[in-house]
Amino acid sequence: MLFQDIGKILRDAECMGYLLQGFRNTLLLTLAAAAIGLVLGFTVAIVKISAQANKYMKIPAFLCNVYTTVFRGTPVALQLFIMVFAVFAIPGFKPYAAILTFGINSGAYVSESIRAGISSVDPGQMEAGRALGLSWRCTMLRIILPQAVKNIIPAIGNEMIALLKETSIISMVGATVGSPTFDLNAATNEVFHKIPNYLAGGLIAGAFYLAVVYLMVFLIKLIERRLKASDKH
């Protein structure tokens, strides 16, 4: 019965259309949230690091620490409910509030990944750059960051994988109501209405997620190998 229903879904053009459209939209949601998270995370990480050399950055760094502590220390589902139903309780704004929530949550983890990657570089590298007459900014961009990249990329890659899977809870706040292909989860629900076997639709949706995660893991490992190879030359 299960395999028969899987076959029906795969052969049904309408069902596969729902799933493919939902899958495409899930990727777009992830990319939008990832863009917000990367920009925010990099900014927060630089603020935290720069506070070590600039006393005027102490207060911004403190605020950044509060931000990362709150968003890393609370469930993303709770953040989603608060942002959608309290902070941005605007009619028709649910999808955008959800994307913003995922982006802000991701930014907290990305910032710590970048900060940890930069901190892993020998402090003597910064001292050597300053001794040569380079500014803090120039030393960071030309000496520290290129060395930190090989430690930052795997951590950020793992965060992007987690972000892709986290977007599946967007339907919890009703952001997908009225749009059967808003994301892969909504599309799976729509398929269930036509072929009432949620396990069959869920397995196909899971295969989509698994394929993307496998591709992302492959790319992360490929980049890691390239970076390690460049260190040897």
Chain segment 14-52, per-residue pLDDT in tens: 888 889 888 898 999 999 999 999 999 999 999 998 887
Q: Answer yes or no: is pLDDT of 11 > 90.
A: no
User: Residue range 2-19: average pLDDT?
Assistant: 86
For residue 44 the two structure tokens come to: 């927060």
Cα torsion at 47, 145, 167, 3 (round to 10°)?
A: -170
For every residue of 158-187, DSSP letters joined together read HHHHHHHHHGGGGGGGTTTTT-TTSSHHHH
For residue 113 the two structure tokens come to: 């990944």
Confidence class for position 186, pLDDT limits 50, 70, 90? confident
Q: Answer yes or no: is pLDDT of 9 > 80.
A: yes
Sign of CA dihedral 208, 209, 215, 219: positive
Confidence class for position 63, pLDDT limits 50, 70, 90? very high
The residue ranges of every structural domain in the chain are 2-228
The length of the chain in residues reads 233
Sign of CA dihedral 7, 8, 12, 18: negative
122-140 burial, b at 16+ Cβ within 10 Å, e below that, comes to eeeebeebeeeebebeebb
Superfamily of 2-228 according to CATH: MetI-like (1.10.3720.10)
* Residue 104 and residue 72 in contact, taking contact as beta carbons nearer than 8 Å: no
Confidence class for position 62, pLDDT limits 50, 70, 90? very high
Q: Answer yes or no: is pLDDT of 215 > 70.
A: yes
CA distance 161 to 157: 6
Confidence class for position 170, pLDDT limits 50, 70, 90? confident
Among residues of the chain, what percentage have pLDDT more than 70? 96
Q: How far is CA 19 from CA 31, 34, 148, 208, in A?
A: 18, 22, 39, 9
Of the candidates 225, 199, 204, the one whose C-alpha atom is nearest the C-alpha of residue 17 is: 204
Of the candidates 160, 161, 30, the one whose C-alpha atom is nearest the C-alpha of residue 98 is: 30
Give the chain's mean pLDDT: 86
pTM value is 0.86
